[in-house]
Amino acid sequence: MRAYYFDNVPGDQRLPHDSGKSVLLEKLSALGVHYWSIPVSPSGEPDEEAVDRIARERDYKNRDVIDVSRQGLGAAYESKIKMFFEEHMHEDEEIRYILAGSGFFDVREHPTDNWIRIAMHPGDMIVLPAGIYHRFTLDEADRIRAMRLFKDEPKWTPYNRGHETDANPIRGEYLRAIGVGA
């Protein structure tokens, strides 16, 4: 995992868009983002023991695996990639453990509202807190295979950024948790 400020230069969202300004893990942690490095086997198999330990600690009860690629998503590929890159939040944590491929999660820094880009590769596990504005895109390799973990039944309803979402109680809880207020 490598984090840095997004350069905001127009162009393909799958490019690195690296401003050259790195972001430390402590900054991500202050935003409520959690990170683990959990090795993946050469064949792309997860370290089930490590994942199970984290799942117990954080009360994750369900999981699945998604292949975000042209092959994996078929006819829905273009619409899904567009949807994933819309700035949004969820009312639940978003947990991803990268098994193969690579991609980017972008999260909003507060109070600046700058984008922080997080480059993810096999073995990276990230938890985005409920209420954080974020987006996702593949990189130029155009494929990622990830395990998704859930506290309860799988939910990933996106709430696109706007006045109504800014007023969402989960968004307010998130802002209070990071010390920004609501």
134 among annotated binding-site residues:
yes
Q: What is the pLDDT along the chain (182 residues), one digit of tens a residue?
A: 999 999 999 999 999 999 999 999 999 999 999 999 999 999 989 999 999 999 999 999 999 999 999 999 999 999 999 999 999 999 999 999 999 999 999 999 988 999 999 999 999 999 999 999 999 999 999 999 999 999 887 777 899 999 999 999 999 999 999 998 65
Walk me through the domains of the chain, giving residue ranges and CATH numbers. Answer: 2-175 (2.60.120.10)
- Give per-residue pLDDT as tens, 159-180: 999 999 999 999 999 999 999 8
The model carries a pTM of 0.94
Q: Is 34 annotated as a binding residue?
A: no
What pLDDT score does 71 carry? 92
Determine whether the annotation assigns residue 90 to a binding site.
yes
Per DSSP, the residues of the chain read: -EEEEE---SS-TTS--EEEEE--HHHHHHTT-EEEE----TT----HHHHHHHHHHHT--EEEEEEEEHHHHGGGHHHHHHHHTS-EE-SS-EEEEEEEE-EEEEEE-TTT--EEEEEE-TTEEEEEPTT--EEEEE-TT-EEEEEEEESSS-----EESSHHHHT-HHHHHHHHHTT---
Residue 121 labeled ligand binder: no
